[in-house]
Amino acid sequence: MQRIVITGLGVVSPIGNKVEDFLANLFAGRGGIGTIAFPFRGAEARFPGAAVKDFRIEDYIDAKKAPMLDRFAQFAVAAAIQAFQDSGLTLTPETAERMAVITGTGVGGQNTLEESYYKLLDTNGSGRVHPFTIPRLMVNAGSSQISMALGITGPGFTVASACASAIHAMGVTLSMLRSGLIDAAITGGAEACMTLGTLKGWEALRVMAPDLCRPFSAGRAGMVLGEGAAMFVLETEEKAKKRGAKIYAEFAGFGMSSDAKDITTPDAAGAARAITACLHDARLAPEEIDYINAHGTGTHINDAMETAAVKTALGERAKTVALSSSKSLFGHALGAAGALEMLATILAVREDIAPPTINYQEADPACDLDYVPNKARPMPIKVALNNSFAFGGLNASVAVKKWA
C-alpha cells in the first residue's frame, strides 16, 4: 500500500495567519478567544468568539478578485497558497491533471447569505444583492477558487459533513492517493460564519459558553465558535522522495462511522468505532498511540462521550495517553475544525510537544484522562490521532506518524 506524506502546510486562524505564528501560539498556550459584537434591535448582541485577525486576502490574490469570494473561500485560498508554496511543488499541464483539490466546509458562504438577507429584508437595506451572491455562497466555492488560483486541473470537490467535514475530506484524499487516482492534492477545511444569525442559532441550542472554552474541565459551560482554514499538500511517498520534498509527517490512516441514533447527541460507541477503524487502517495497536488531539468541544455531553470513546477504543492505553483540545485556544471552527486540529497534530508529532488544553480548572469525574492541562508538554510523539465528531452522528479519526 502506498504511503502518503504531508509536504506542505498553510493556515489562517485566530492564533496566527502563518504556520510559524500558529505554532508559537499553540505551544505557548496563547488563545485567540475574545468577544464578537453586533448591533441588534437597537442594542448590542455580544458573544464569545475566536475570530481571525489582521487577515488580508490582497496578500494572496488580485484585490479586484477579492469581492468575488466569501470570507470562507478567502481563507481557503490563502491557506492553500501557503501550503502549495511551502511544498515546493511546480505544476506542468501533466502534473496539474494528476493533482486534486478536496476540501471540507460545514456551512459555506454564510457571510454572503446573511448580507443578502439584510439587504433584502431590513428596512435599511438596499433591496439588491451582490451579483456574485450564488458563486460566493456555494459550499464548493473554496475548492473551486483554490483550483483556479493554483491552476490545478485534476479532481476538485467539497465535502460537507458538519464538524467532520475537513477530516472526511482528508480521508477521501488519502484513499484517492493510495488508489493511484491522483499523485498529489490540496486538502483541508475552511469556515467563516461568525455572523449574528449563526451565533444566535448556536445560542438557541444552549451549547455556547458565556466566556471561554474549557474542554474536559469540571467548570466547562459549552463551546465557543471559531473560524479559519488549514490546508495541506499530500503526496505519495514515491513522488515526494523523487522530487526531494521536505516531509512533515506520514498521513497513516483514517476511520469513520455513523451513530445512526440522534441528530445532535453524540454516541460513545459510534465515536469509538471511528477510532478503532482508524487504528485498523493505519495498522496500529492502541499501545502505539502517544497523543490525541481531541474533538473536545467544551460541552458537558461531548467531552464525557469522547472520554468514554477513547477508553473503549484504546483500552488500558487510554490511562496513559496524552489528550488535549485545541478548541480551548481557537474555538470550534465547525467544518474547518478538523483541519486546524490536524495542523496542531502534525506540529505535535514534528516538534515532540503535546499542545495544552488551556482554561482547564479542575477535574471532572466523567473526564478522567490526561488532558495536558494549561501548559504544553515536551514528550516523544511518534504517533498521534485527531478526532472529529459531527452533528448527525458522523465520526472521523485520522492517524499521523513521525517521518523518519
Q: In angstroms, how far apart are the furthest CA atoms of the chain?
A: 62
- Whether 130 sits among the annotated catalytic residues: the reply is no
CA proximity to 230, closest of 381, 6, 31: 6
Task: Note if 295 is an active site residue.
Answer: yes
Q: For strand 383-390 and strand 291-293, is the pairing parallel, antiparallel, or unpaired?
A: parallel
Distance, in Å, from the CA atom of 285 to the CA atom of 62, rounded to the nearest integer, reads 48
The residues, any chain, with a CB within 8 Å of residue 29's CB and separated by 6 or more, are: 329, 356, 358, 374, 375, 376
- Of 130, 163, 193, 213, which is the active-site residue? 163
Place of cell 439584510: 118
In this structure, the strands spanning 184-191 and 377-378 are: unpaired
> Which residue of the set 278, 295, 300, 367 is catalytic?
295
Question: Does the active-site annotation cover 332?
Answer: yes
How far is 370 from 381, CA to CA, in rounded Å? 15
Residue that has been written with the C-alpha cell 490540496 in this structure: 186
Taking phi over 0 as left and psi of -120 to 50 as alpha, with beta for the rest, 13 belongs to beta
Cell of 140: 464548493
Give dist(CA 132, CA 126) in Å, integer: 16
Grid cell in block for residue 235: 503526496
Of 399, 382, 403, whose CA–CA distance to 290 is shortest?
382
* Residue of 193, 278, 332, 367 marked active site: 332
What distance in Å separates the CA atoms of residue 269 and residue 261, rounded to the nearest whole number? 11
User: Residue 47 carries which DSSP code?
Assistant: E
Phi and psi, residue 70, nearest 5°: -65, 160
Q: Which grid cell sits at 330?
A: 481557537
Cβ–Cβ contacts within 10 Å for residue 403, how many?
17
Q: Which residues are CB-neighbours of 41 under 8 A, at least 6 positions away?
A: none
Q: How many residues does the chain have?
A: 404
Euclidean distance between CA atoms 179 and 1, whole angstroms: 9
Residues annotated as part of the active site: 163, 295, 332
